[in-house]
Amino acid sequence: MAFSFGGYKQTQRLALSGRHLQAEAFLTAARRLNAFEGGGRQGTAYVRALRFTHSLWSILRADLSRPGNGAPKALKQQILSLSLFVEREIARAVVDPAQARIAAMVEVNRNIAAGLRPPVSPD
């Protein structure tokens, strides 16, 4: 019987929920962008990484803007501000794919993911 890593990864995604799933989405965006930090920021894969990041932040912005969102107002404002920063960096990265832009977006996505993950308890 052969097992594939892809099947394991799919099962793992199905088992994730809530904040864990959100954290994984931001880590995925960071990984996709990180692949281009060293160079090669042209072509379809680069555009897909930017598009994925854009979609993720658009979804987050829409969720924060809906009337029933229970997040504290100050937190919403901070995240919406980050969202605007990421949107500007994506637009700039299309025209001028400077390494600093990519690194900044990777860092923001990683930090959001870290904030979504529950603290690890020392055993």
Domain-located, residue 63: yes
Angstrom distance (rounded) from CA 114 to CA 52: 19
Which pTM was predicted?
0.79
Cα separation of 4 and 52, whole Å? 25
Flag whether 76 is in a domain: yes
Domain extent at residue 103: 19-116
Domain count, the chain: 1
pLDDT by position in tens, the chain (length 123): 444 555 545 545 555 568 889 999 999 999 999 888 666 667 788 889 999 999 999 999 999 999 998 989 999 999 999 999 999 999 998 888 788 888 999 999 999 999 988 766 665
> How far is residue 88's CA from residue 91's CA, in Å, rounded to a whole number?
5
